[in-house]
């Protein structure tokens, strides 16, 4: 039975609320939190990051201008308040005083300006440029007031600043390290960088000068990459890891039963769908530079079968990049039925009646492998041969960013504002960052630009509906499913707030003996 976002959100907040109430009574200082990640983060520079797993570390290393709470509301962080001008073109941020970066550099308006200058510098390989493109200039009005002047109103801006575009790095460290900043990252967050051994661990330690007095509680955090789905789960069950960022969906049903049976050393936390998974088809090179071949392949794929058979119901099938129950989701959308006859018709029209072959890139993991194999079998029914190539996450991201792939499975961690669930993936400005297909369409660009200016979500939804229909015909992406958001955590873990964006914030966390 499908449960709506609201119900799941309430359930998740109730669980998290119990942990937060415990935190309010006073956490236990000390201890090392051991975290299992589904991949080794490709970079520790938030302004160059294109991966969700990077963000898990960033949440605790860098502070943001604003953050999200357990209900996805924007809350103060380094900015204590904000105001938008009547014409929507100036956003004024009042900054927190008394904050320093881990290297002692003061946080102030000049530091904010330096961060925006870094992200917008054409000589710097910024992955944030498209997110903050509407920011025309940054003015340090006084030491603790910043004005973001926009070329036009930009409704998603504050939500954009809850993620990597809002993460502030030390200007001194950024200037000193240049492109090597990721080797020695410096933020102002509750934990500071200690060391990293690639493919082994990342260690953060408590920031004794953190501006939230008495926090964090933990002495250190050790992140360990675990690409094997079974290994991540096994490490939580054995007590060798305290929490993992990605729970394999095919195991959720069994894990929920085990956690509820009593005596388990772990708990399963759940929220509604926030992310999406799909297949990017590179429209700039064969075979998917041919629309008919994209339509043929798409007609062979049945997301409902993937959700039921592979994911055991722990996700929703996708027709668009807007998860069930989120702001731009339209309950009137219906999945088109799988049609092998239509696929063969498109192949015939493309002059490829016997089908064609292509290679699909995926990252490591049993769930990804199982999904790819299921799609492979579906495509074969129409004579389409899909080869599967497994590459490390950083390699996949590099290839798809530079449009070197034919096709690749894309896992997007989702955003609270619908703009960034779609805009950078299908517009010209996203090419070279998040547009992994090379697709561009003038009407799509116009509609999405208009949606960015509009403040009313019902008006924005109309623009998104038309875009979804255009994409359904052009097929730069084959949307597959919206995974529900899960965390598997030790029963020793206290004070953890399970935010629906799936990012693990450990400022309030402590460990019971």
Nearest to 343 by CA among 352, 334, 333, 330: 352
What's the confidence (pLDDT) of residue 21?
A: 37
What's the confidence (pLDDT) of residue 1?
A: 33
Confidence of residue 263 (pLDDT cuts 50, 70, 90): confident
* pLDDT exceeds cutoff 70 at 395: yes
Q: Are residues 307 and 430 in the same domain?
A: yes
Distance CA 237, CA 227 (A): 17
Residue 386 located in a structural domain: yes
Confidence of residue 13 (pLDDT cuts 50, 70, 90): very low
Nearest to 357 by CA among 284, 438, 279, 286: 286
Tens digits of residue pLDDT in 55-97? 999 999 999 999 999 889 999 999 999 999 999 999 999 999 9
Q: Tell me how crowded residue 14 is: count the other CB atoms within 10 A of its CB.
A: 10
Residue 150 located in a structural domain: yes
Q: Are residues 153 and 284 in the same domain?
A: no
Task: Give yes or no for a contact between 281 and 358, defined as CB atoms under 8 angstroms apart.
Answer: no
Residue 99 located in a structural domain: yes
What's the confidence (pLDDT) of residue 139?
A: 98
Q: Are residues 306 and 438 in the same domain?
A: yes
Q: Are residues 285 and 430 in the same domain?
A: yes
In total, how many domains does the chain have?
Answer: 2
Distance CA 505, CA 282 (A): 35
Task: Give yes or no for a contact between 498 and 70, defined as CB atoms under 8 angstroms apart.
Answer: yes
What's the confidence (pLDDT) of residue 130?
A: 86
Lowest mean pLDDT among 9-23, 198-212, 285-299: 9-23
pLDDT, average across residues 226-241: 97
What's the confidence (pLDDT) of residue 42?
A: 95
Alpha helix (H) ranges present in 239-302? Answer: 252-260, 291-300
Q: Are residues 324 and 441 in the same domain?
A: yes
Residue 459 located in a structural domain: yes
Distance CA 318, CA 303 (A): 7
pLDDT, average across residues 7-21: 37
Residue 144 located in a structural domain: yes
Alpha helix (H) ranges present in 239-323? Answer: 252-260, 291-300, 303-305
Q: Are residues 311 and 454 in the same domain?
A: yes
What's the confidence (pLDDT) of residue 11?
A: 36
Confidence of residue 3 (pLDDT cuts 50, 70, 90): very low
Give 489's strand partners.
243, 267
Distance CA 499, CA 88 (A): 29
Confidence of residue 16 (pLDDT cuts 50, 70, 90): very low
* pLDDT exceeds cutoff 60 at 247: yes
Task: Give yes or no for a contact between 386 and 376, defined as CB atoms under 8 angstroms apart.
Answer: yes
pLDDT, average across residues 383-411: 96
* pLDDT exceeds cutoff 50 at 398: yes
CATH at 94: 3.90.76.10
What's the confidence (pLDDT) of residue 89?
A: 96
Task: Give yes or no for a contact between 150 and 89, defined as CB atoms under 8 angstroms apart.
Answer: yes
pLDDT, average across residues 410-431: 94
CATH at 316: 3.10.105.10
Confidence of residue 2 (pLDDT cuts 50, 70, 90): very low
Confidence of residue 429 (pLDDT cuts 50, 70, 90): confident
* pLDDT exceeds cutoff 70 at 15: no
Q: Are residues 166 and 295 in the same domain?
A: no
Nearest to 366 by CA among 12, 34, 38, 35: 38
Q: Are residues 308 and 446 in the same domain?
A: yes
Confidence of residue 4 (pLDDT cuts 50, 70, 90): very low
Domain that holds residue 381: 276-483
117: Cβ contacts below 8 Å, ≥ 6 apart: 138
Q: Are residues 153 and 294 in the same domain?
A: no
Residue 496 located in a structural domain: no
- Select from 149, 170, 191 the last residue of a domain: 170
* pLDDT exceeds cutoff 80 at 22: no
| Pairing relationship of beta strands 276-281 and 510-511 according to DSSP bridges | unpaired
86: Cβ contacts below 8 Å, ≥ 6 apart: none
Residue 275 structure tokens? 């992310």
Tens digits of residue pLDDT in 98-116? 999 999 999 999 999 999 9
Q: Are residues 162 and 282 in the same domain?
A: no
Question: CB-hemisphere CA count at 13 Å for 184?
Answer: 13
| Pairing relationship of beta strands 407-412 and 357-362 according to DSSP bridges | parallel
Residue 364 located in a structural domain: yes
Q: Which helix (H) or strand (E) holds 379?
A: helix 366-380
Distance CA 416, CA 427 (A): 19
- Select from 128, 154, 170 the last residue of a domain: 170
Residue 56 located in a structural domain: no
Q: What is the mean pLDDT of the chain?
A: 93
Distance CA 361, CA 379 (A): 15
- Select from 119, 146, 170 the last residue of a domain: 170
């Amino acid at each position: 039975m499908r449960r709506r976002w609201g119900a799941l959100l309430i359930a998740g907040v109730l669980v998290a609320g119990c942990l937060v109430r415990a935190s309010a009574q006073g956490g236990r200082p000390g201890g090392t939190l051991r975290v299992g990640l589904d991949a080794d983060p490709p970079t520790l520079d938030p302004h160059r990051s294109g991966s969700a797993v990077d963000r898990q570390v960033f949440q605790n290393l860098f502070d943001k201008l604003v953050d999200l709470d357990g209900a996805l509301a924007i809350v103060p962080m380094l900015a204590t308040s904000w105001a938008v001008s009547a014409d929507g073109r100036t956003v004024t941020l009042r900054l927190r005083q008394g904050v320093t970066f881990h290297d002692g550099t003061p946080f102030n308006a000049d530091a904010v300006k330096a961060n925006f200058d870094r992200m917008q510098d054409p000589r710097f390989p910024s992955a944030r440029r498209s997110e903050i493109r509407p920011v025309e200039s940054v003015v340090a009005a006084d030491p603790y007031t910043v004005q973001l002047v926009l070329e036009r109103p930009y409704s998603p801006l504050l939500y954009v600043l809850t993620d990597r575009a809002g993460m502030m790095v030390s200007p001194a460290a950024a200037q000193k390290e240049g492109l090597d900043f990721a080797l020695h990252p410096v933020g102002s967050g509750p934990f500071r960088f200690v060391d990293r051994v690639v493919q082994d661990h990342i260690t953060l330690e408590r920031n004794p000068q953190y501006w939230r007095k008495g926090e964090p509680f933990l002495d250190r955090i050790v992140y360990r990459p675990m690409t094997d789905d079974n290994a991540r789960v096994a490490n939580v069950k054995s007590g060798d890891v305290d929490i993992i960022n990605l729970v394999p969906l095919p195991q959720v049903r069994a894990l929920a039963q085990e956690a509820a049976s009593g005596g388990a050393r772990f708990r399963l936390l759940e929220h509604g769908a926030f992310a999406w998974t799909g297949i990017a088809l590179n429209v700039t090179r064969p075979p998917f530079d041919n629309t008919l071949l994209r339509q043929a392949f798409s007609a062979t794929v049945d997301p409902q079968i993937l959700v039921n058979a592979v994911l055991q119901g722990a996700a929703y099938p996708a027709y668009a990049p807007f998860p069930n129950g989120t702001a731009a989701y339209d309950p009137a959308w219906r999945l088109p039925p799988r049609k092998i006859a239509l696929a063969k018709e498109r192949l015939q029209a493309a002059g490829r009646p016997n089908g064609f072959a292509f290679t699909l890139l995926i990252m490591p993991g049993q769930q990804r492998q199982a999904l790819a194999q299921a799609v492979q079998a579906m495509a074969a029914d129409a004579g389409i041969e899909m080869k599967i190539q497994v590459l490390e996450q950083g390699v996949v991201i590099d290839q798809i960013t530079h449009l070197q792939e034919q096709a690749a499975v894309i896992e997007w961690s989702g955003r609270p504002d619908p703009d960034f669930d779609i805009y950078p993936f299908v517009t010209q400005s996203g090419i070279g960052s998040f547009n992994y297909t090379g697709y561009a369409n003038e009407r799509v660009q116009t509609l999405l630009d208009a949606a960015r200016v509009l403040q009313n979500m019902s008006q924005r939804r109309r623009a998104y509906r038309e875009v979804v229909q255009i994409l359904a015909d052009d097929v730069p992406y084959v949307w597959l499913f919206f995974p529900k958001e899960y965390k598997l955590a030790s029963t020793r873990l206290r004070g953890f707030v399970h935010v629906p964006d799936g990012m693990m914030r450990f400022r309030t966390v402590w460990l019971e003996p």
